[in-house]
């Protein structure tokens, strides 16, 4: 019997992603609060202190361990999203350090996407470490492999995509925020590691997916023309699609 190491790695990544779910659920509950409120540590239903420190885990059932009421995302959804994302990255990216950098970005990305859907914000406490960790891990890879040019493209791509979103945020502050600008740093770095065209493709895929989603919501009458659709999840999804296609 032969064992396909690639398939084993994909499976390990999927299991690790699912296992991270309860930890990420705690982060989502912690950060999914309106900007005028302080980070949440209590159950929004019964007030029980669930997160005395931020590294607690919350059950995958999506229910409060004390009052059993639904809190946070739908059962299994965070686990499925993280497992699928890490498995896709393991399938397409074999170099260890770039894979670690993308996993770092992906784990923060899952939390950010859920937080953005709930409260329409992308906290600095998540976007900045996401970009920082990705930059460090890719930089380490570039230094060890002697690829300074590739790292330069990734850095320029992160800054370039952030500048692009900054222009959008200045032109249309209702549609795009500074959270999107800071998220673009991480997204541009990750996509730019695979070259400029991948960054362009990532951004275009993000807008395309957001547009399709908006059309579906409008057609089904779920939203009106004035409703705001968070762009963060689509920016992240667009980058994942572009990286999976191009890596
Ligand atoms: Zn509770």
Alpha-carbon distance of 111 to 118, in angstroms, equals 11
Same-domain status, 13 and 50: yes
Which has the closest alpha carbon to 28: 48, 49, 58?
Answer: 58
How many angstroms does the Cα of residue 49 sit away from the middle of ligand 1? 8
Residues 62 and 83 in one domain: yes
Q: Indicate the length of the chain as a whole number.
A: 247
**H or E element at residue 70:** none
Identify the sign of the CA torsion 197, 199, 204, 206: positive
Indicate the DSSP class of residue 194: T
Q: 37 CA to middle of ligand 1, Å?
A: 19
Do 112 and 60 lie in one domain? The reply is no
Token pair, residue 95, equals: 């170099």
- Give me ligand 1 centre to Cα 124, in Å: 27
Q: How far is the CA of 64 from the centre of ligand 1 (A)?
A: 5
Q: Are residues 78 and 126 in the same domain?
A: no
Between the CA of 120 and the centroid of ligand 1 the distance, in Å, is 23
Q: How many angstroms does the Cα of residue 48 sit away from the middle of ligand 1?
A: 6
Q: 52 vs 1, 25, 48, 100, CA distance in Å? A: 49, 15, 10, 29
> Do residues 78 and 103 share a domain?
no
Adjacent-strand bridge partners of 49: 42
Going from the Cα of 42 to the center of ligand 1, the distance in angstroms, rounded, reads 8
In a shared domain, residues 103 and 87: no
**Domain end marker among 76, 92, 108:** 92
C-alpha 69 – ligand 1 centre gap (Å): 6
Whether 215 and 112 share a structural domain: yes
Reading the chain (247 residues) residue by residue, the pLDDT tens digits are 677 888 999 999 999 999 999 999 999 999 999 989 999 999 999 999 999 876 789 999 999 999 999 999 999 999 999 999 999 999 999 999 999 999 999 999 999 999 999 999 999 999 999 999 999 999 999 999 999 999 999 999 999 999 999 999 999 888 899 999 999 999 999 999 999 999 999 999 999 999 999 999 989 988 776 778 899 999 999 999 999 999 8
This prediction has a pTM of: 0.95
Boundary residue ending a domain (92, 122, 156): 92
Count of domains observed in the chain? 2
- Give the DSSP per-residue string, 220-244: TTSS-TT----SHHHHHHHHHHHHH
Same domain, 199 and 233: yes
Domain co-membership, 171 together with 86: no
Q: If DSSP codes are grouped into helix, strand and coil, which group holds residue 131? A: helix
DSSP letters, 34-58, are: -TTSPPP-B-TTT--B--SSTT---
Distance 46 CA to ligand 1 centre (A): 4
Same domain assignment for residues 24 and 106: no
CA of 2 to the centre of ligand 1 (A): 49
Please tell me the distance between residue 72's alpha carbon and the centre of ligand 1 in angstroms.
11
How many angstroms is it from 71 CA to the middle of ligand 1?
8
| Ligand 1 mean position, distance from CA 70 (Å) | 8
Do 102 and 177 belong together in one domain? yes
* SS3 assignment, position 182: helix
Q: How many Cβ atoms from other residues are within 10 Å of residue 74's Cβ?
A: 9
Judgement on whether residues 34 and 106 belong to the same structural domain of the protein = no
DSSP assigned state of 200: H
- Could you tell me the distance, in angstroms and rounded to a whole number, from the CA of residue 56 to the centre of ligand 1? 15
Count of CB atoms situated within 10 Å of the CB of 59:
15
What is the model's pLDDT at position 150? 97
Which of 98, 109, 108, 95 minimizes the C-alpha distance to 240?
109
Q: How far is the CA of 41 from the centre of ligand 1 (A)?
A: 11
Could you tell me the distance, in angstroms and rounded to a whole number, from the CA of residue 156 to the centre of ligand 1? 45
Q: What is the dihedral of CA 95, 142, 136, 97, to 10 degrees?
A: 10
- Which of 92, 116, 132 represents a domain boundary (last residue)? 92
Which residue range(s) make up the domain with 56? 1-92
């Amino acid at each position: 019997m032969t064992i396909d190491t690639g398939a084993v790695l994909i499976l390990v990544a999927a299991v690790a992603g699912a296992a991270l779910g309860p930890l990420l659920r705690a982060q989502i509950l912690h950060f999914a609060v309106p900007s005028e409120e302080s980070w949440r540590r209590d159950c929004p239903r019964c007030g029980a202190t669930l997160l005395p420190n931020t590294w607690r885990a919350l059950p995958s059932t999506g229910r409060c361990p004390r009052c059993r009421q639904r809190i946070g995302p739908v059962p299994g959804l965070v686990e499925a999203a993280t497992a699928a994302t890490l498995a896709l990255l393991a399938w397409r990216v074999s170099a260890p350090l770039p894979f670690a950098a993308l996993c770092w970005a992906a784990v923060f990305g899952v939390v950010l996407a859920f937080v953005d859907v709930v409260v329409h914000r992308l906290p600095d406490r998540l976007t900045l470490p996401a970009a920082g960790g990705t930059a460090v891990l890719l930089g380490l890879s570039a230094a060890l492999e002697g690829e300074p040019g590739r790292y330069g493209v990734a850095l320029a791509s992160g800054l370039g995509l952030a500048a692009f979103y900054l222009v959008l945020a200045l032109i249309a502050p209702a549609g795009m925020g500074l959270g999107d600008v800071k998220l673009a740093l991480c997204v541009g770095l990750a996509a730019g590691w695979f070259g400029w065209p991948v960054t362009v493709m990532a951004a275009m895929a993000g807008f395309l997916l957001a547009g399709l989603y908006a059309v579906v919501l409008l057609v089904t009458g779920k939203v009106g023309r004035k409703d705001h659709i968070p762009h963060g999840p689509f920016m992240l999804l667009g980058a994942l699609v572009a990286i999976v296609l191009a890596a």
